[in-house]
Structure 1
Amino acid sequence: MSAQVRRAPSRILVMRLVDWNGEDAAAFEPVLEALDLLTPYVEVLEPGCAAVPLRAGAGDEAAFCERLIDTVAALVDQDCLTGVADGLFAAVLAAREGRIVPAGRDAAFLAGRDIGDLLATGLVEAETCETLRHLGIETLGAFRALPGQAVAERFGAPVRRAQLLAAGRLARPLAPRPVAPELAVTEVPETPYATVEQAVLAARPLAERLLATLDGRNLACTRVTVTARTGSGLERRRTWQIDPAITAAELSRRVRWQFEGWLTAAAASGGTEDEAANAVTMLELAPGGLIGLVAAGRGLWGAKGAALVRAEAALRHAQSLFGPDAVRVPAVTDGRGLEERSGSAAWEVEPAPPPPSGPWPGRMPDPLPALIGTGEALAVLDAAGSPVVALARGDLSAAPALVALGGKRIRITAWAGPWPVSERWWSEEARRYARLQVELADGSAALLACEGGRWRAVGWYD
């Protein structure tokens, strides 16, 4: 018997510069090049902050953090703090204090954090944090203990996703994934780009092409790799963390930051003497971390894509005009009959879970018919063509053989039932009927009901 080998879960290290003012994004490139000496994959969260994946159990995490800090200080004379955790949100907060969160302890680490740390998710406004404080919610632990449905109704879906982050959920690993070549967009200019401005002018339509390509496939991405090749054959590549709903203008801004950083590094190394050798001959944007456009729990913090955000905004606007019950969606309800179990509910960002099944003797079992409430009048016949009716004692007057529907007679190939139902016998709303499942020769299957001697189709199965 061969033993199953389980891979250790990924850990995430976040590095943040201590004295970073955020004004000169190009100045962050030398720091990233220093990190390249220590790890094959660096993901830029924002200028001044980057993340690298770690493999749990692969080595001393504290020793690696010290080595990273020393390397950055020695090569670029910058002080930095590091944080390590299972999830990205916890690692970002841990990096503020230079902490290593033990494996499996993200939730405990986050529980005692101040409610204001929700701002680090980018999903919560400062006003929302103050509202939570007024409600007595001072820590992330108290916030995550709130009912999720109530948070979604009061503050909206982004704050609900922030609540899941506060609980140590919605974590995503930092790991490069292979991308289909046709999704990457490339520009090879006739005249190489010798300045940042020329490259950025080309990056804007290239970003638009990339986003249009992904949108055409109902995809979004959470990271973009910028690749540039120079006349000397040197190829530079850097991966940036992005929001799934990023615009072409914002994406081209990332490219500008990257090119400024590369040119700054080239100037520092004395590489500006030959402009032709440093000119960009190829520019490529490749998406990474691909996700479905309308999938839940996406992006850096599980953010939704632009299409879904716009759709939810339109539905909320309709609710504000006509009331919360005006926008409704299909929902499974509880009850005995088919009509009772198929209902609707007011639309919510995060729908409530279906109600628990009550004690309903004679309740229709799952799966329910796919098409419900059709109500076509029909006749059930025996082999001789005589009508079949449901008797009071709960059986049929004869074995069903045919269904007369729409002027045609269709042979019954299989049937089950009948199941008699007696409801509210004590009231004026008393009902007695019987249900019958039939499979027909044309490949269809139906749920029939006989009430008052008349048959009708109450649902059709796939």
Structure 2
Amino acid sequence: MAAPMTSPVTPAGRVLALWCPDWPATAAAMADDLPPQHPIAVLHANRVIACSAPARSVGVRRGMRKRQAQSACPEMTVVTTDDHRDGRFFEPVVAAVADLVPVVEVLRPGLLVVPSSNATRYFGGEDVLAEKLIDAVAVSGVEAHVGVADQLFTAVLAARHGAHVEPGGDAVYLAGRPVADLAVEHSLSDPTRTELVDLLRRLGISTIGAFADLPAGDVATRFSADAMTAHRLANAVPGRPPSGQISPVDLVIEHRCDPPIDRVDAAAFLGRRLADALARRLAAASVACTRLTVEAVTERGQRHSRTWRCAQPLTPEATADRIRWQLEGWLTGGRAGAEGRPDSPIDVLRLEPVEVVAAGALQYSLNGNGLPEDPEVDERARRSLVRVQGLLGGDAVQLPIRSGGRGPGDRITMVSLGDERIPARNPDAPWPGRLPQPTPAVLLDTPIQMLDLTGSPVEVTARGCFSTEPTTIRMERRGRTRGGVWELRWWAGPWPTGIDSDTGGITARAQVLLDDSRALLLSYRAEKWVVEGVYE
């Protein structure tokens, strides 16, 4: 922290951000009851996304593969990412802050912000308030850094460096920061912000100040819509996003629990129901929620309230997660009473959208490429998928994600709707011998016969060659697959791919062009040919 200000008087609208470094690793260590000096790393898709300070001291870094990180620190504990764990263990930290400053907004587990003006006047200065918050959080064994600034984004960035930005100095503080800081905090930026940062770097814009100096008109016409938001942040423009508005009262969801809830699983189940009900009410009002207050009231009248804020509008799944994190942290807290777990079962659960935006900001893209789609159509599709999943089971609705492998089918991992999208194999691995681009547009597994000029079957020899020259393809009619015989205009291959584990024979692939202009990818395994994919 910088030297204390000479006067405790603080302009209105100041923001204090409290950031807990490496929170996923801290939460994982708390869950396993590990000492602070024990190294720990959190993995997602077999890569390190967070690690503790002892792990970093021996060379472990974010982005490392699991094997590389373990070779750098063999005694390190490795765990997988768990958003519910992060949210549950962050609740005591939020409670400690709320004891000093009642109004708290949680941006994500590990990061929160508070309006500092009133609290500063009460405690006698921003530095005094910051020290009290750090001490209050330290009681629970959590390290925290505090940043203070005029604007929320600047305060969050300052918290990462323990900086105190003087009143009116946001633009000056941001000017010297690297342009990558515009995307350093995912809870305050669009998912495509990293692409904007990469583009700005290629254009020679290396600092936030250089980006802020660009005319707003040029930014609006030459970059994405999110670039204008980033440009406003770079210039420390005051205020919330222009689309933000205080929600009307009729959007509030209030549910009286009958019977009252005292178990985490029951609270999580009810939270998902209320999240879906809130989503329907928001959709009917053509708005989406960006700031949500979750309040629980016990039978004896004890209240527990938290406000969550996100850069992107909250989906029903994200809303349900935040309800679960908050209630799980409260229900599994320490001693009963105002400072710990509830004094009696929860009787009322209330969801209040504090800030909403236009419904167009919330989209459920089904094509996976981020292109804009009709929000109403996407919302109906999402509800239909959730309904089918509820009727047929969790694995009935699956989504494809990019995976690693040599064949086109290996490069897709199917994940159940709502589960974490983790590929079965690392898509960034080398995968020597993998099929080159382009990838088939349609994947099949249709048996065929490859014949030569005499009508005899064409096989692949032990040397990886065709037994005879192929001339035709015969396909039997199966279901919607039309049968027939097609002549080959062109073929390439075969390319051996390995040894069949069942027959011990060779496996191979080949590409063919039929006389009807269809291009197929064929696979030879178990001494038979199948159509593996169709090129378009």
Q: Please say if 1:289 is aligned against 2:351.
A: no
SS of the counterpart of 2:14? strand
Q: Please say if 1:100 is aligned against 2:164.
A: yes
Assess, with a 3 A threshold, how the Cα gap between structure 1 residues 292 and 131 changes in structure 2: closer, same or farther: closer
Q: Please say if 1:313 is aligned against 2:380.
A: no
- Is contact 2:330-2:342 (8 Å) kept? no
Distance 1:237 1:196 in 2: 17
Q: Please say if 1:226 is aligned against 2:303.
A: no
SS of the counterpart of 1:213? helix
Q: Please say if 1:110 is aligned against 2:174.
A: yes
2:135 to 62, 70, 73: 70
SS of the counterpart of 1:186? strand
TM-score normalised by L of structure 2 = 0.49
Give the drift of 1:188.
Answer: 1.6
Distance 1:122 1:160 in 2: 12
Give the drift of 1:126.
Answer: 2.7
- Is contact 1:106-1:168 (8 Å) kept? yes
SS of the counterpart of 2:201? helix
- Is contact 2:193-2:226 (8 Å) kept? no
- Give the structure 1 partner of residue 16 of structure 2: 13
SS of the counterpart of 2:112? strand
User: What are structure 1's unaligned runs of at least 5 residues?
Assistant: 1-6, 295-303, 316-462
- Give the structure 2 partner of residue 46 of structure 1: 108
Distance 1:289 1:44 in 2: 14
- Is contact 2:246-2:356 (8 Å) kept? no
Distance 2:342 2:177 in 1: 53
SS of the counterpart of 1:208? helix
Assess, with a 3 A threshold, how the Cα gap between structure 1 residues 277 and 112 changes in structure 2: closer, same or farther: closer
- Give the structure 1 partner of residue 88 of structure 2: 26
Assess, with a 3 A threshold, how the Cα gap between structure 1 residues 157 and 233 changes in structure 2: closer, same or farther: same
Structure 1 stretches of 4+ moved >6 Å: none
1:20-419 matches, within 5 Å, as: 20-21=23-24, 23=82, 24=85, 25-55=87-117, 58=121, 59-73=124-138, 75-119=139-183, 120=185, 121-123=188-190, 124-169=192-237, 171-172=239-240, 180-243=248-311, 245-265=313-333, 268-269=334-335, 278-293=344-359, 304-306=361-363, 313=372
Higher relative contact order (CA 8 A, sep 6+): 1
Superposition RMSD in Å? 3.2
1:417-428 matches, within 5 Å, as: none
Give the letter aligned to residue 12 of structure 1: V
Give the letter aligned to residue 200 of structure 2: L
- Is contact 2:300-2:344 (8 Å) kept? yes
SS of the counterpart of 1:227? strand
- Is contact 2:151-2:236 (8 Å) kept? yes
Distance 2:96 2:342 in 1: 26
Give the letter aligned to residue 9 of structure 1: A
User: What are structure 2's unaligned runs of at least 5 residues?
Assistant: 1-9, 28-81, 375-536
Give the drift of 1:193.
Answer: 2.5
Distance 2:219 2:255 in 1: 46
- Is contact 1:113-1:140 (8 Å) kept? yes
SS of the counterpart of 1:13? strand
- Is contact 2:293-2:352 (8 Å) kept? yes
Assess, with a 3 A threshold, how the Cα gap between structure 1 residues 219 and 133 changes in structure 2: closer, same or farther: same
SS of the counterpart of 1:188? strand
Give the drift of 1:106.
Answer: 0.8
- Is contact 1:88-1:171 (8 Å) kept? no
Give the letter aligned to residue 129 of structure 2: F
Distance 1:186 1:70 in 2: 36
Distance 1:223 1:113 in 2: 28
Residues 201-223 of structure 1 show CA distances to partners (whole Å, capped at 9, x for unaligned) of 22223122223323333333331
Matched residues, number = 291
Percent identity over the alignment? 37
Distance 2:150 2:359 in 1: 26
Give the letter aligned to residue 203 of structure 2: L
- Is contact 1:244-1:306 (8 Å) kept? no
SS of the counterpart of 1:233? coil
- Is contact 1:165-1:171 (8 Å) kept? no
Give the drift of 1:141.
Answer: 0.8
